[in-house]
Amino acid sequence: MTALTKVLVLNGPNLGRLGSREPDVYGSTSYAGLVEACRKTGAELGFDVEVRETNDEGEIIRWIHEAADARTPVVINPGAFTHYSYGLKDAIAQRTAPLIEVHISNPYTREAFRHTSVVASVATGTIAGFGIGSYRLALRALADELAD
């Protein structure tokens, strides 16, 4: 029996409010539904997926350091940190495994400040605009990256 590859799915501020937070933008799936979808897709791909959410910038940076030290692949939705957290960018730049930036909505169809991602330049890639499906696509992209 082969061991499952551990993958962290990290979520930034306000993502724990999915389902009640602006459903016209973020859909009606709850955070629990997001966790379930990530774990199910991950299991199909041979991943042991751990999903985390925080409103604390320091905590998400510590999680990125943890992933870098353990060479753990990451899917990350930095939420609002996407647009201004150079501390998060610097942490992601230290990654030792693929890291996919993900967004539920398409930032380019929204307010101008959302058009800038300070973390995109240090991520393996970015997937956005497919609702909760963005996470499933990101996990599939990780599987492809790890297979190469």
The full 3-state SS of the chain, as one line of letters, equals CCCCEEEEEEECCCHHHCCCCCHHHHCCCCHHHHHHHHHHHHHHCCEEEEEEECCCHHHHHHHHHHHHHHCCCEEEECHHHHHCCHHHHHHHCCCCCCEEEEECCCHHHCCHHHHCCCCHHHCCEEEECCCCHHHHHHHHHHHHHHHC
Q: What range defines the domain where residue 99 resides? A: 5-147
Domain total of the chain: 1
Confidence at 13, pLDDT banded by 50, 70, 90:
confident
86 catalytic per annotation = no
Q: What is the pTM of this model?
A: 0.90
Residue 104, marked binder:
yes
Q: Which residue has the higher pLDDT, 18 or 63?
A: 63
pLDDT, tens digit, for every residue of 72-89? 999 999 998 898 899 999
Find the catalytic residue in 103, 108, 115, 135: 103
Q: What is the CATH number of the domain that holds 108?
A: 3.40.50.9100
Q: Is 65 a catalytic residue?
A: no
